[in-house]
Amino acid sequence: MRTASSFFVAIALIFVLSPAAGEPASQDAAKNSPHKNSPYAVSRIKGPVKLDGVSDEPAWAGIDPLPMTIYTPANGSPPTEKTEILIGYDDAFFYVAGRLYDRSPDKIQAPTKKRDDISLSNDWFGIILDSFNDHENGLVFFTTPTGLRMDSTIFNDAEGDMPFDQSWNTFWDVKVVRNGEGWFAEMRIPFSSLRFQERDGRVVMGLIAKRLIARKNEDIIFPAIPDKWGFWGSFKPSQSQDIVLEGISHKTPLYVTPYVLGGFDQSYYLNEGESAYFREDTPAHEIGLDVKYGLTNNLTADLTVNPDFAQVEADDLQINLTRFSLFFPEKRLFFLERASIFDFNFGQDNNLFYSRRIGIQDEQQVRIYGGVRLTGRVGGWDIGVIDMQTAPIESWPSENFGVVRLRRQVFNPYSYVGAMITSRVGVDGNYNTAYGLDGILRLFGNDYLSFNWAQTFYRDARNFVFSLDPAKIRINWQRRTIRGLAYNLNLARAGVDYNPGMGFEMREDFTRFGDKILYGWVPEGSSWFLRHDAFVEGFVFLKNSDSQPESIELGPGWEFESKSSFSGKISPKYYYEDVAEAFSLGGEAEIPAGQYRFAALNYDLATPYTGKIYLKVLGQVGSFYDGRGFSVEVMPLWHVSSDLNLSIDWLYNRYNFSARNQKLDAHILRVKALATLSIPFSMAAFIQYNSADNLITANIRLRFNPREGNDLYIVFNDDLNTNRSRQVPPLPGYCSRALLIKYSYTFNF
């Protein structure tokens, strides 16, 4: 059990690089999309292309525009504004040109210039490339009338609440011009920035081309995709058009990115006599290195030495109204890039691999000496490997973290099986290893069956292999549609000894079933509704020890979206909680041990997201354990101009427990401001206030990004105490304060 995770890395590499593993999955399986049966031969560009936004060079002559149709609000209809999108390629680049005419050019919306910041209040244009043609994953390249670049990944065939990762960045160029006829754009994407499978000089990819006219909420696409999957349906790689490229040569780029960091940190600590606070000043000076190398045209290795994440945005402050751990999303780019490969999800936030276990311990940052990551495809296998070593911190030892992930297409282009191994080994002899098997099987139509199985083994545990105690299993049956009957049904069980040392689990030792059955309508004609549905959702958690309920949540509901993009959801819920041990809600309020039955009304309303001002309000009102009250969250967003965006997130919880003479009255206020003086130059401020902790935090980041891979960050962090007299001795004005400067430069070989 103490085997270092580097051994797992070696075993995985031998396995996937062996001839047997390199056999490609069948490309002749039955396809669910008509666009997969009629490949589109992309024309070669003949002659030079001057990247200036205007596709008027002779090289574009003879290339026909793609036939575009409306996805929403009038699926299948011709675009209301003339839209011409052209694609082509040469030996080095994939080219995309957009001629985006508009009869009211003064109404074109472009509220931001920030890299990767494309909201639905922007007009935008771009493509999605399923570069491996695996019908599940895609690369997104979009731009707006301000000429910003947004690149991201799509995963899980665009299923889920947010199957979209904007952290992925690569090297490509775009130019945009605006005039009295509309706006026009040209993209140039190097093949060295893509990963794909080449067979005898022939490459097949999937393509979706898109244009959004924000003021009309009009989504224009190629190919024609039915609107039965909702908003994300127009991003689904499984519905993309097969395109064929001939004679593309193998590219193996090498990117070397060193960084330097300097600055200082000031923190206050209580002295040994606990009579006063003293300040400790710590200078910051670091150097590190990232290396990215294309081993093959579809396999990439990343090496990092002494990585630092000073430029990463601060976590959102949260108020925990449950007795379970809070989940904080990963924000570090090294772990976010191609993160979908490492996804082994048991539903909600529970996962066999949670990257924040690496380099973060008890909410403190831990130095990472270095590590390596390998991602891509070999034959029919998707592969992901991570191996990293962390430094010791206080009483916590240095540890090695290893992950191996394999997936392969089976039966048809929409079904996969996979495996994962994780290993966490400390120099003190502690270890935690896990293995898992999972799969997604398309049964018929839009019905999919998913399964997960995992077991964990760790020091001082019983580690019985032939037992359910160290295991977790989940089975999910889902019908993916917003028209007619749909469902998402789950059954899961976690044993008493299941403990993924590199994963995230909210609960332990339970059996759970739920989740949602709905019936949806997509009205035709002049209806105000774009879509709406009625549903019943909920879950039951049973304690494995006695099969008695621990938590129940159940209720009906109705949700809608209008053609003008108003949206809402309302749902009354019944709750049951069996609290074994009392837990605190913050301040003097707590929930004593006992059994509770209560009910509340949940709501979620939003104004059109295509406007320059957007407002979302959600919350809950009713009873809460043995008290009553409400929770409300108000989130306004204002696109002041293309140079300034402001947003506020105010969360207020007020609950009274009159029988116990206790109450909860807690605020969280988050304010974000983004100023973009130009495409390369931006400044972001993130200010938060938490009344429960009497704390104000500030994260201010200035970024200069003249080109991809060349970044200068100046970051200021501050933690201010409010109500300093709440403790004796009085608290200092601030807990900690830091000013950091980080510069990185990428050398492309």
Average pLDDT over residues 193-200: 84
Question: Is the same domain home to 328 and 416?
Answer: yes
Q: How far is it, in rounded angstroms, from Cα 476 to Cα 471?
A: 17
3-state secondary structure at position 726: helix
518 assigned to some structural domain: no
Q: Residue 563 pairs with which residues in a beta bridge?
A: none
Of 230, 246, 262, the domain-final residue: 246
Burial class from Cβ neighbours inside 10 Å (0-12, 13-18, 19+) for residue 271 reads exposed
**Confidence at 12, pLDDT banded by 50, 70, 90:** very low
**Confidence at 33, pLDDT banded by 50, 70, 90:** low
Q: Which residue has the higher pLDDT, 684 or 586?
A: 684
Neighbouring residues of 188: CB distance < 8 A, sequence distance ≥ 6:
49, 51, 93, 94, 95, 172, 173, 174
Neighbouring residues of 661: CB distance < 8 A, sequence distance ≥ 6:
none
Neighbouring residues of 195: CB distance < 8 A, sequence distance ≥ 6:
131, 132, 294, 297, 298, 299, 300, 376, 377
Q: How far is it, in rounded angstroms, from Cα 232 to Cα 480?
A: 11
Q: Does residue 61 carry a pLDDT above 70?
A: yes
Q: Does residue 19 carry a pLDDT above 50?
A: no
Of 450, 470, 490, the domain-final residue: 470
Compute how many other C-beta atoms are within 10 angstroms of the C-beta atom of residue 113: 23
Question: Is the same domain home to 5 and 111?
Answer: no
265 assigned to some structural domain: no
Tokens 């001939």 sit on residue: 246
Contact 439, 431 (CB under 8 A): no
Buried b (16+ CB within 10 A) or exposed e, 510-520: bbbebbbebeb
Q: Which residue has the higher pLDDT, 530 or 23?
A: 530
Task: Give per-residue pLDDT as tens, 370-394.
Answer: 999 999 888 788 999 999 999 999 8
Q: How far is it, in rounded angstroms, from Cα 665 to Cα 399?
A: 41
**Confidence at 665, pLDDT banded by 50, 70, 90:** very high
Question: Is the same domain home to 188 and 45?
Answer: yes
Q: How far is CA 134 from the centre of its chain?
A: 20
Average pLDDT over residues 395-401: 94
Q: Does residue 5 carry a pLDDT above 60?
A: no
3-state secondary structure at position 581: coil
Question: Is the same domain home to 42 and 13?
Answer: no
Question: Is the same domain home to 153 and 14?
Answer: no
Q: How far is CA 234 from the centre of its chain?
A: 18
Buried b (16+ CB within 10 A) or exposed e, 641-652: ebbebebbbebb
Lowest mean pLDDT among 219-228, 323-332, 437-446: 323-332
**Confidence at 677, pLDDT banded by 50, 70, 90:** confident
Lowest mean pLDDT among 165-169, 483-487, 573-577: 165-169
Integer distance in angstroms from the first to the last C-alpha of the chain? 41
Question: Is the same domain home to 236 and 328?
Answer: no
Write down the pLDDT at residue 299. 86
277 assigned to some structural domain: no
H or E element at residue 138: strand 138-143
Q: How far is it, in rounded angstroms, from Cα 35 to Cα 204?
A: 13
H or E element at residue 702: strand 695-707
Q: What is the mean pLDDT of the chain?
A: 90
Question: Is the same domain home to 20 and 92?
Answer: no
Q: How far is it, in rounded angstroms, from Cα 235 to Cα 136?
A: 10
342 assigned to some structural domain: yes
Q: Residue 491 pairs with which residues in a beta bridge?
A: 475, 513
Q: Does residue 242 carry a pLDDT above 80?
A: yes
Q: How far is it, in rounded angstroms, from Cα 447 to Cα 542?
A: 27
The candidate with the shortest Cα–Cα distance to 628, out of 588, 595, 668, 659, is 659
The candidate with the shortest Cα–Cα distance to 353, out of 313, 390, 301, 405, is 405
Q: How far is it, in rounded angstroms, from Cα 748 to Cα 23?
A: 32
Count of the separate structural domains present in the chain:
2
Q: Which residue has the higher pLDDT, 16 or 300?
A: 300
Average pLDDT over residues 644-654: 95
Tokens standing for residue 615 = 């407002």
**Confidence at 1, pLDDT banded by 50, 70, 90:** very low
Q: Does residue 339 carry a pLDDT above 90?
A: no
Compute how many other C-beta atoms are within 10 angstroms of the C-beta atom of residue 443: 14
Q: Does residue 209 carry a pLDDT above 70?
A: yes
Question: Is the same domain home to 72 and 166?
Answer: yes
Indicate which CATH number applies to the domain containing 184: 2.60.40.1190
The candidate with the shortest Cα–Cα distance to 677, out of 715, 643, 714, is 643
Can you point out the beta strands (E) in 6-137?
40-41, 69-72, 83-89, 93-101, 124-130
Write down the pLDDT at residue 36. 66
Write down the pLDDT at residue 30. 36
**Confidence at 10, pLDDT banded by 50, 70, 90:** very low
Average pLDDT over residues 447-469: 92
Q: Does residue 562 carry a pLDDT above 70?
A: yes
Distances (CA, A) of 620 to 97, 217, 390, 430: 47, 29, 42, 44
280 assigned to some structural domain: no
Q: How far is CA 399 from the centre of its chain?
A: 27
Compute how many other C-beta atoms are within 10 angstroms of the C-beta atom of residue 147: 17
656 assigned to some structural domain: no
Write phi, then psi, for 211 (nearest 5 degrees).
Answer: -140, 135
Contact 236, 137 (CB under 8 A): no
Write down the pLDDT at residue 4. 42
Of 470, 504, 524, the domain-final residue: 470
Write down the pLDDT at residue 15. 39
Question: Is the same domain home to 99 and 57?
Answer: yes
Q: Does residue 422 carry a pLDDT above 70?
A: yes
Question: Is the same domain home to 334 and 349?
Answer: yes
Average pLDDT over residues 642-657: 94
**Confidence at 37, pLDDT banded by 50, 70, 90:** low
- What is the rounded (10 degree) CA torsion for 143, 207, 71, 61? 70
Write phi, then psi, for 12 (nearest 5 degrees).
Answer: -65, -40
Question: Is the same domain home to 9 and 36?
Answer: no
Longest Cα separation, the chain: 83
Write down the pLDDT at residue 18. 38
DSSP string, 419-435: EEEEEEEETTS-EEEEE
Q: Residue 259 pairs with which residues in a beta bridge?
A: 288, 744
Q: How far is it, in rounded angstroms, from Cα 39 to Cα 701?
A: 46
Residues of the chain with pLDDT > 70, as a percent, come to: 95
Average pLDDT over residues 293-319: 85
Q: How far is it, in rounded angstroms, from Cα 23 to Cα 183?
A: 46
678 assigned to some structural domain: no
Q: Does residue 24 carry a pLDDT above 70?
A: no
Contact 702, 739 (CB under 8 A): no
11 assigned to some structural domain: yes
Instruction: Give percent helix, percent strand, percent coil of the chain, each to the nearest 5.
Output: 5, 55, 40
Domain that holds residue 344: 1-26+324-470
Lowest mean pLDDT among 316-325, 400-409, 658-667, 728-737: 316-325
Question: Is the same domain home to 233 and 329?
Answer: no
Q: Residue 646 pairs with which residues in a beta bridge?
A: 638, 673
Neighbouring residues of 500: CB distance < 8 A, sequence distance ≥ 6:
352, 353, 354, 422, 432, 434, 454, 456
**Confidence at 294, pLDDT banded by 50, 70, 90:** confident
Sign of CA dihedral 719, 722, 726, 729: positive
Q: Which residue has the higher pLDDT, 420 or 253?
A: 420
* Planar angle of CA 361, 364, 368, nearest 5 degrees: 70
Lowest mean pLDDT among 221-230, 564-573, 583-592, 709-718: 583-592
Contact 385, 301 (CB under 8 A): no
Compute how many other C-beta atoms are within 10 angstroms of the C-beta atom of residue 728: 8
